[in-house]
Amino acid sequence: MQLARIVIIGGDAAGMSAASKIRRTDPDAQVTVLEKGIWVSYSACGLPFFLQGVVPEIGDLVARTAQEHRANGIDVRTNHEAVGIDARRRVVTASTEEGEQTFPYDKLLIATGARARRPAFADTDMGGVDVLRGIPDALSMRTHIERRRPRHCVLVGGGYIGIEMAEALRALDIEVTLVDHGSSILKILDAEMSALIAACLTENGVTVRYERDVTELVGTDIVGGVTFADGSTLPADMVVVGAGVEPNAEIAREAGIALGDTGAIRVDAAQRTSQFHVYAAGDCAEARHLVLGRDVHIPLGTTANKQGRVAGENMVGGNAKFGGVVGTMVCKVFDRAFARTGLTQAQAEQAGMHARSVQVEVPSRAGYYENPPTIHARMTVEQRSGRLLGAQLYGDDTVAKRIDVAATALHARMTVEEFTQLDLSYTPPFSPVWDPLVVAANVASR
Ligand SMILES: Cc1cc2nc3c(=O)[nH]c(=O)nc-3n(C[C@H](O)[C@H](O)[C@H](O)COP(=O)(O)OP(=O)(O)OC[C@H]3O[C@@H](n4cnc5c(N)ncnc54)[C@H](O)[C@@H]3O)c2cc1C
C-alpha cells in the first residue's frame, strides 16, 4: 500500500500544528513541510518581548527546531518557497537553493500565513524602517537599535502590535510617537475604551497623535523622519510600520482555489478549500465568526494552531471540525492590559444590528484593599433579545483571563440576563464579590 503523501506549505503555527497532529494520528504518513524561510515553529507573538529584552535570545521563541521536527519524522525543508500548485496533477513546485523542485501530494495544506501590509511610503530599503511580522524583522530592528542607538521612533499605526512595540521601545529608553490616520487608536475597541489605552500610553511617555497620515519618509540611506499629508515633518531615527496584515493567498488563488470576501482562503469547518484534497489553515484562511454568522479574517495565533490541528486530523481521514471564532484577544500595555471579545458597538452597528453598550468601572479586588486597581468593563448587547454581543476590558492583568468568561458566554449565545447568574469565583485578594463583568451584565440587563 502506498503511504499517504502530505505536503504542507508554511512551517509556523498552523503548518507545524497540522504536521504534528498528522504524525500522532497516522505515524506512517509521509509529511513534507515547505518553509520559505529558515525558521519554523516560532512564536511571532513573542517578538515585541524579545525586542524589549524580556526574552533574551531569539532562539527562545522557537518551540521546536527544523532538526527536532525531522527527528520526529517530519521532513521539514527550509529555504523552500512554494511558487505554484497544480491542483489537477496534485503537485507543488518550490523554489530552492538547488533550483525548482516538485513535490507530489495526496493531500495539501496551505498554511502560508499573512504578511505585514506595507504602505507605499514604507516600500523602501532605507535603514531603520521596519515592519514587525517575523524573526528577520525583529533581528533587523534589534541590529538598528544596537548599531544606531536611535533616540526617537515613530510608530505608524495604532494597532495592538504598535502598542506592544511602544512599550518595548520605551523600556529601551527610546522616545516614541505613535501616529494613526484615524481619530482613535485600536479600532478593535470602541472609542470610549481605546481612549483609556491612549491615556495609559501618554502616562508612560508615549506621544499619541491622531489623524496624521504619513505619506513619505525623510532620509536616503538611513531614515531621518516622516512627512505627513499636510507637508509637515517629524524627525525620527527609527520608523516601525504597523499597518495591519494581508493574507498570503495568491498561491491559492492562482491554483483556482476560491478566496472569500476578505481576500483570505475560503474554508469549511473541516478546513477544506474549494479544491478537492487541498486544505488551508491559519492567517491565510478565513474563519466563521460565531456572533456575526459569516466568515472573517482575524489572524491570531490561537486560531492558527487550532485550525492547523483540525486540518491535520482531517488530512489523514479524521472528521474534526473547527468551532469558529469570536475575535477574542488580549494585549499588555505597560502595567495594564486590555482585552476584547465579540463585537464592539461600532462593529455591531456596521453589521446592521440594533445594539447598545454599557460601561462600568469596578475595583478588581475587594474595596477594602488599599487603592485597588480598577477594571473598566464594557458590554455590547442586542437590543431586542438581550443577547450578549461582545465585551471589552481594560485594567490590571486579571482582564487577560476574565475576558475568557465573556468569550465562553458568546460561544453559548448567552443573554446578559443569563450572564448575571454565572457562578464565578470570588476571594478578596483577586476579585470583588461582584465580578466586574457581572456588574456590567447587571447594568446591561436593566
Ligand atoms: C508581533 C506579533 C505579535 C503577535 N501577538 C499575538 C498574540 O499575542 N496572540 C495571538 O493570538 N496572535 C498574535 N500574533 C499573531 C500570530 O503570530 C499569528 O496569528 C500566527 O503566527 C499565524 O500562524 P500561521 O502559521 O498561520 O502564519 P505565519 O506565522 O505567518 O507562518 C506562515 C509561514 O509560512 C511561510 N510561507 C509563506 N509563504 C510561503 C511559501 N510560498 N512557501 C513556503 N513557505 C511560505 C512563512 O515564511 C511563515 O513561516 C502576533 C503576531 C505578531 C507579528
Q: Which domains does the chain have, with CATH numbers?
A: 5-41+62-115+246-315 (3.50.50.60), 118-243 (3.50.50.60), 329-444 (3.50.50.60)
Ligand 1 midpoint to CA 247 (Å): 10
Choose which residue among 300, 309, 328 to substitute to test ligand 1 binding: the one with the highest number of ligand atoms within 8 A of its C-beta. Answer: 300
pLDDT digits (tens, 9 = 90+) for 85-123: 999 999 999 999 999 999 999 999 999 999 999 999 999
| 278 beta partners | 108
Residue 371's pLDDT is: 84
Backbone angles phi, psi at 312, to 5 degrees: -60, -45
Ligand 1 atom 4 nearest Cα:
45
- Going by alpha carbons, the residue nearest to atom 29 of ligand 1 is 12
Choose, from 45, 200, 284, 331, the residue flagged as catalytic: 45
Q: How confident is the model at residue 417 (pLDDT cuts 50, 70, 90)?
A: very high
Please give the number of the atom of ligand 1 that sits closest to the Cα of 10: 34
- For 45-131, where are the E strands, in sequence order? 74-77, 81-86, 91-96, 99-104, 107-110, 114-116, 129-131
**pLDDT-based confidence at residue 367 (cuts at 50, 70, 90):** confident
Residue 348's SS3 state is helix
Distance, CA of 212 to CA of 193 (rounded, Å): 21
**How many Å lie between the centroid of ligand 1 and the Cα of residue 365?**
37
Q: Which residue is listed with cell 479600532?
A: 187
Residues 119-138 pLDDT 10s? 999 999 999 999 999 999 99
How many angstroms separate the alpha carbon of residue 12 from the centre of ligand 1? 6
Can you tell me the distance from the alpha carbon of 344 to that of 165, in angstroms, rounded to the nearest whole number? 24
- For residue range 301-353, what is the model confidence (pLDDT) as tens digits? 999 999 999 999 999 999 999 999 999 999 999 999 999 999 999 999 999 99
141 pLDDT more than 90 = yes
Atom of ligand 1 nearest to the CA of 17: 25
DSSP 209-269: E-S--EEEEEESSBEEEEEETTS-EEE-SEEEE---EEE--HHHHHTTPPB-TTSSBP--T
Cα of 111 from ligand 1 centre, angstroms: 9
Residue 1 has pLDDT above 80, yes or no: no
C-alpha cell at 118: 506595507
Is position 45 annotated as part of the catalytic site? yes
- Say which DSSP state 181 is in: S
Closest ligand 1 atom to the C-alpha of 94?
A: 42
**Ligand 1 geometric centre to CA of 192 (Å):** 30
Residue 366: pLDDT band with limits 50, 70, 90: confident
**Which residues, judged by CB distance below 6 Å to any ligand atom, belong to the binding site of ligand 1?**
9-15, 34-37, 44-45, 47-48, 81-82, 111-114, 132-133, 161, 248, 251, 282-283, 299-302, 304
Residue 244 pLDDT:
94
Indicate if ipTM > 0.95: yes
